[in-house]
Amino acid sequence: MPADDHRVAGSSTMSKARKTKHYVLDKADALQIAASIGATQEEKAREKVKKSHKNAQSQPGLPRRISSSKAKLEEAKASIASERARLKKQKLKQRKQNKSPRQSDSTSHTSVPAKKVSFA
């Protein structure tokens, strides 16, 4: 093994032996690299915007297609919801019909209502 090799079996000594790389650049070089990176990022952003505009423009022209299974599912959900609403209205009417005779009976009887007892 050469003497310059700092690799040791222990992980803690291994991290100490490694040196970080430092790149020394002139100020002008650093600015040039930053400008080129910024330009590429801006170009990527412009391309994304163009693609999204193309997709947005083409979408409204075409009618949205729903698969037959999804259409069937939506239809089934709608029928279930309408059935529930119909049953709810029917129950409400039934309760009103059952309530009206009771109210007339309770008004004809002027008895004192029983006191409720609750246990804590």
- The ranges of the chain with pLDDT < 70 are 1-16, 58-64, 101-110, 120
Residue 25 and residue 29: Cα distance in Å, rounded? 6
pLDDT for res 108: 54
Do 42 and 32 form a contact (C-beta atoms < 8 A)? no
Q: What is the DSSP string of 97-112?
A: HHHHHHHHHHHH--PP
Query: Could you give the C-alpha distances from 102 to 17, 20, 91, 108, 115, in angstroms and in order?
Result: 93, 90, 17, 10, 19
Cα dihedral 46, 51, 54, 60 sign: negative
Assigned token pair, 46: 């412009």
Report pLDDT digits (tens) over 93-102. Answer: 999 988 876 5
Residue 17 and residue 6: Cα distance in Å, rounded? 6
pLDDT for res 21: 78
pLDDT for res 1: 46
| Locus of tokens 């430092």 | 22
pLDDT for res 49: 92
Do 46 and 38 form a contact (C-beta atoms < 8 A)? no
* Phi, psi angle pair for 80, to nearest 5°: -65, -45
pLDDT for res 63: 64
